[in-house]
Structure 1
Amino acid sequence: MTANTIFSFATTDLILEIPTATQNQANFHFQSFSHPTSGYQAYLNELCLGAVLPWLREDFTPQAKVWPNTTALSSFWELVSGTAITLDATRLILVLSETIDLSELRVPQEWVDLPNWAGDYYLAVQVDPDEGYVRVWGYCTHAQLKNKGNYDASDRTYVVDASDIVTDISVLAVVWEFCADEATRYAIPEIPTLPQAQAQNLIARLANPEIINPRLAIPFQLWGGLIAHGGWRQSLYERRLGLPEQRSVIEWLQSSVSDIACAIGWGRLNLQLSAAGAKSAEQRQPGVTLSRQLAIAGQSYELSITPQGEPDAPYWRFELRNAIVGAFIPGGFKLRLLTEDLQPFPNNEDIATTAVEQLYVEVALEPQEGIVWEIEPLPENYDREILKF
């Protein structure tokens, strides 16, 4: 039993105290949303996460962590309630409510029907902010939601009766430890990626903060195709807050990296770049490159973006290196660039067939064109982003 556990309610529920630091932090973050409704939704989710995550780390695995990363949470909570947590290879979705009626579990469709959002287990959590605790009262699998849940089109949720979920929360730890091979997922179709022009039109429309619940404003196929793309989800969140462009590489190079980009690890490196054979200080030109530290398969790597060519005909070099000087990138790694709507183009990837010092892709881009980078194996805490040039 963890330090922030108050007691087990009845014999099956688990009551967890909301840490004071979490309550203070959630109150502070309340302002980082476009409308009081989404702000309160985020407030409840933050309280839930602050109480449940320490319990998962102590009773399940110390490696339990938010998916895709904590920095991305605001862009999720602005749009839909719920939080994903990874327990090693297992994904758990926290599904919360304030109601004292525990007769059913209601799960937003996004957490069920988007393949890259769906979980293995869905944890039912009642949040009581006034009393300072959360009650974890049951769980079910993704397959149970799809097989036994009823879809409610009015609020786009899957509703499963309490009699059809496991209400003894102690069972979850046993299942997680001893039934790792249990089939938890129901096969769901991929959501088609939207054309770029359509996505930009939807973002412009849904950026209006007077649309209090944008997830219900357009058909789910369009909505799902939009927010399943991490870059478009972030862009919609930032536009709803009235923020300027946060991922302009040109602005990062000319002035400074935005706070949002700094929070996910981007930074500037000032370099002295010299032409081959330069003989005087006058021939040496100061330069700036952008870099981001990544953790991949237990090792540290650095992704850098450096402008190349002449000012009137620039191109860009994306380069991946091992963070340890002299260390190599293992065979099988891939560095790939895609268009904003995730389409490949000629010479868009570099593959390490054997261990190599670096992988790089060079690309010429039009002003305001967006690019998406990907690496295989997937970096820890990876959330797809769109970089503007």
Structure 2
Amino acid sequence: MNANPTVFTFADSTDLILEIPTSTAAKKESQLFSHPYGRYQAELNKICLDTVLPWLQADFSPQAKVWPSTATLPSFWELVNGTAVIVDATKFVLVPSENIDHSEFTVPQEWVDLPSWAGDYYLAVEVAADAGYVKVWGYCTHAQLKHQGKYEPGDRTYSLDASDMINDITVLAVAWELCPNEVTRTAITPLPTLPQQQAQNLITRLSNPEIIHPRLAIPFPLWGGLIEHGGWRQSLYERRIGLPEQRSVLQWLQNGVSQLAATVGWGRWNLQLTGARARSVEDRQARVTLSRRLTIAGQLYELLITPQGEPDAPFWRFELRNATVGAAVPGGFKLRLLTEDLQPFPNNEDIATNAVEQLYVEVALEAGEGIVWEIEPLPENYDREILKF
């Protein structure tokens, strides 16, 4: 990405007009989408992100990054317009449009009413791809959208008049730096977690690619409850583009991890059991372990999944270790397993009261059962995923 974006100065002096990077302008979005509209929406968001993110990194913080991670973006853009960027503890939501009418700013409801999606600042971005630039023409806060915005039930959006927005983008950096305690958000009522069977039924129904706008096909409480769960959102996206199951642990062990799983950091390696751990020649065989590298509080860790027990009565060991040999997992860390619909079960977590070599949870699962893992403190780029067994 261009670390020093070109800023144009024509038009209104309060506008922020950024040159689209040449590499972005020439490149079409290569990810799969179920419908031409989804591809168009993805390309619009990709141009917006590739152009605005370098500006945020240059003028706000070099650590500005996509939320929850770059690998998850296709599953958002298939379903909803907009992209979130985290700058330190502040979330910016970029909402692109090709519309040159700047009389009002329109934001999809998901970015306003889903607690984990909601932002602090919302940037209105006009994408002029043919002219080679994007224009950030105004911004507002979450509180403004909720208190001053007009909700449109037909397309499930919040609209805010331009007169209620701040159009001078230079004010944004000043507010962010000098007013860190500014109240930007208003309270949101969390949506109830959907029962697993209901979620699976909705995914089956909405996976039909002929449903161009699945976000409008069911009531918002059901839709929001479905896609706020990262694992279900990703599953819906994959089903809509016709991919087979991507997170089958058994398939990973036999054939290697899927391409999508590899993009978020999963790998497969063999641990050779020898010496005192192998009771006989027959025991000296490779034990296949799945591993995902994680960054937590600036340090590298590994989440390991290893089959245990006998072939006819297997169970699974989830283990968190520091990736540095000899280093510990600090006190206060937690490793937790939940059912697919985020319910706890007996002995589902391990907590480090002091620094320990590893945290682990062992669990027996039925064929086809799904598990969601969680770690506290939260790993960077964390998005819930459902692992199938």
Common fold: TM-score over 0.5: yes
Instruction: Name the counterpart of 2:136.
Output: 136
Q: Distance in 2 between matches of 1:277 and 1:270?
A: 15
- Deviation string, structure 1 residues 139-163 (Cα, Å, up to 9, x no partner): 0000000010000011000000000
- Name the amino acid aligned to 2:347: N
Cα distance in 2 for partners of 1:289, 1:278 equals 17
Matched, 1:197 2:197: yes
1:370/1:388 contact within 8 Å kept: yes
Q: CA deviation at 1:9?
A: 3.1
Distance in 2 of aligned mates of 1:252 and 1:163: 54
Structure 1 residue 78 and structure 2 residue 78: aligned?
Answer: yes
Q: CA deviation at 1:283?
A: 3.1
Specify the alignment match of 2:174 in structure 1.
Answer: 174
Q: Is the 8 A contact 1:140 1:165 kept in 2?
A: yes
Aligned length: 387
Per the TM alignment, residue 305 of structure 1 is displaced from its structure 2 partner at its CA by 0.2
Q: How far off its partner does 1:319 sit?
A: 0.1
What residue number does 1:165 align with? 165
* Aligned counterparts of 1:370 and 1:227: Cα–Cα separation in 2: 17
Between the two proteins, what is the percent identity of the paired residues?
72
Q: Would you say the 8 A contact 2:29–2:43 is kept in 1?
A: no
Cα displacement (A) at 1:286 = 1.4
Match of 1:333 in 2: 333
SS in structure 1 opposite 2:146?
Answer: helix
Partner of 1:350: 350
CA–CA distance in structure 2, aligned partners of residues 146 and 102 of structure 1:
20
2:243 maps to 1:248: no
Equivalent residues in 2 for 1:1-389, closer than 5 Å: 2-7=4-9, 9-25=11-27, 27-29=28-30, 32-274=32-274, 276=276, 278=278, 281-389=281-389
SS of match in other structure, 1:91:
strand
1:239 partner SS: helix
- 1:197 is aligned with what amino acid? Q
Post-superposition shift, 1:275?
7.9
How far 1:22 sits from its partner (Å)? Answer: 1.6
Q: Look up the SS of the partner of 1:185 in the other structure.
A: coil
Residue deviations 1:311-342, cap 9 Å, x none? 00000000000001110111100000000000
Query: What TM-score does the superposition give when structure 2 sets the normalisation length?
Result: 0.97
Distance 2:80 2:247 in 1: 23
**Distance in 1 separating the partners of 2:174 and 2:316:** 51
Q: In the TM superposition, what is the alpha-carbon distance from 1:8 to its structure 2 partner? A: 5.2
Residue-by-residue CA offset, 1:32-62 (whole Å, 9 max, x unaligned) = 1000001100110000001000000001100
**TM-score normalised to structure 1 length:** 0.97
The alignment yields a C-alpha RMSD, in angstroms, of 1.3
Is there any run of 5+ residues in structure 1 with no aligned partner, and where? Answer: none
Question: 1:264 and 1:341 mapped to 2: Cα distance?
Answer: 21
- In structure 2, the gaps of 5 or more residues are none
AA of the residue aligned to 2:20: I
- Of 127-136 and 355-364, more deviation after overlay is shown by 127-136
The one-letter code of the counterpart of 2:312 is D
Is the contact made by 2:339 and 2:372 (CA closer than 8 Å) also made in structure 1? yes
1:6 Cα deviation after fit: 2.6
